Every structure is written in structure tokens, then in C-alpha cells.
Amino acid sequence: MTVTMDMSIGDILKMDGGIEKVLLDHGMHCTQCPVARMESLADACRAHGVDAGALQAKINDYLAKKE
């Protein structure tokens, strides 16, 4: 499975428990916030000043290594 920019943080976190660490390592400390879980990856990154493309690539790299 591949993460896209329009996926919600909640749906991304449901894919694999280890994704939370990837998000936290990139300054996304909102993984437990109910509102943030409904935000898209792109919107959450914009709100936190995080490079969305780089984070998306890191998450997808993490998932690819698990296959």
C-alpha cells in the first residue's frame, strides 16, 4: 500500500503502528489528536511546517521495507 497526500493521518496510522514513529521523527507530534487524525497528510504537514513530499517518501519507504 502507498500513502498519498490526500489520505488522513488517522488512515495512515491504521496502516502500520510503526508509522507513528516516522511522523514523530518529522515533528508531527499530533498523532493522538482527534482533529489531526482527520486531516490529510498534506494539510497536517502544512500546519506543522513539515515538507510533505519528504515525509510521504519516508512513510512509503518504511512501508516498502515491511513488504
Q: Is 24 part of a structural domain of the chain?
A: yes
Separation of CA 54 from chain center: 11
pLDDT of residue 57: 98
Q: Is 15 part of a structural domain of the chain?
A: yes
- The grid coordinates listed for 8 are 488522513
Torsional sign, CA 16, 22, 24, 28: negative
Q: Is 46 part of a structural domain of the chain?
A: yes
CATH number at 36 reads 1.10.3910
Q: Is 14 part of a structural domain of the chain?
A: yes
Domain encompassing residue 15: 9-66
pLDDT in tens, 6-42: 999 999 999 999 999 999 999 998 788 888 789 999 9
Instruction: State the number of CA atoms in the 13 A half-sphere of 62 facing the CB.
Output: 19
Q: Is 3 part of a structural domain of the chain?
A: no
Enter the pTM of the model.
0.91
Total number of domains in the chain: 1
